[in-house]
Amino acid sequence: MADESGQKKATIIVFSGTMDKVMAALIVATTAAAMGMQVTMYYTFWGLSALKKGATADCERNWMQKMLGWMLPKKAADLPLSQLHMAGMGAGMMKKIMEQKNMQSLDELMETAIDLDIRMIACQTSMSAMGICKEELLDTVEIAGAATYVGEAQDGAFNLFIS
Amino acid sequence: MPDETLDCTGLSCPMPIVKLAKTVKPMEAGDSITVTADDPGFEPDIQAWVDAQGHELTSLEEEGGVFTAVIELK
């Protein structure tokens, strides 16, 4: 449950690529880090969109991967809501309300998480399947496979899967 | 007398706890910190944070929706 330093570990798999679910994951992650835990977030499939910084890199993609790239969000701020998205109207309203309530935006939460030394890992296999390259993701992101996640999760005081 | 003060009014979850964790990082055992916050979940949250970190909540008061917590670091 804890490493040599006595620090407890928590891991979160982010499978969902929707704004509200990724935000919920980041709120739990930043809180766990603030409570002294060593936190690892593992982004896979649709969750990878949350790590995109809005840059289009010239990496090799076949036509299907190119199509995926056109359809998926280009950056974290463009993630849709999991419910009531209403072609962007719902997400826009939610952002406005959160701003009024002085809540952090998805980008700010991500920045806070990185600042708290939360390990951000992108799933290598999902990246190759979806035609996403390293240059399109935030600079602090590590690229690794499931074994890296399982290695951390073995010692996890809690392990979550956000789908 | 508290050594350090932290104003978290206007901030909502998880920022009061995140800010508090960052502020106490360079502080030492025996130091104390006074935190003010108006996040409605602050009362149970600060108790949970103090318990998880092994610190002591010396006092917790509420006035007009603003909580004031004094924490002694262990």
Would you say residue A1 has pLDDT above 70? no
Per-residue DSSP letter, B2:
-
Query: Which pLDDT does position A3 carry in this prediction?
Result: 62
CA B20 to CA B18: how far, in whole Å?
A: 5
- Assess whether pLDDT exceeds 90 at residue A60: no
Question: What pLDDT score was predicted for residue A4?
Answer: 66
What would the pLDDT profile of A67-103 be if each residue is shown by its tens digit? 888 899 999 999 999 999 888 999 999 999 999 988 9
Q: How far apart are CA B22 and CA B34, in angstroms?
A: 14
| Burial (CB count within 10 angstroms: exposed 0-12, middle 13-18, buried 19+), residue A117 | exposed
pLDDT band for A58, please (50, 70, 90 cuts).
confident
pLDDT for the residue numbered A44: 97
Residue at token pair 């449950």: A1
Mean of the per-residue pLDDT values of chain B: 94
Which chain A residue has the Cα nearest residue B23?
Answer: A34
Confidence (pLDDT) at A46: 97
% of chain B at pLDDT higher than 70: 97
- Rounded-to-integer distance, Cα A76 and Cα A48, Å: 9
Task: Tell whether the model's pLDDT for residue A5 goes beyond 80.
Answer: no
Q: Spell out which residues of chain A touch residue B10, defining contact as CB-CB under 8 Å.
A: 102
For the question of whether the overall pTM of this predicted structure is more than 0.95, the answer is no
A101 has a chain B CB within 8 A of its CB: yes
Q: What is the mean pLDDT of residues B35-58?
A: 95
**What pLDDT, on the 0 to 100 scale, is given for residue B46?**
97
Amino acid at A73: P
Nearest to A30 among B10, B11, B14 (CB): B14
Pairing outcome for strands B32-37 and B4-8: parallel
pLDDT in tens, A108-154: 999 999 999 999 999 999 999 999 999 999 999 999 999 999 999 99
What number is the average pLDDT over the span A9-16?
A: 98
> Which ipTM score applies to this complex?
0.87
User: Is-catalytic flag, B13?
Assistant: yes
Which residues of B touch chain A, with CB atoms under 8 Å apart? Answer: 10-15, 17-18, 20-22, 48-49, 52-53
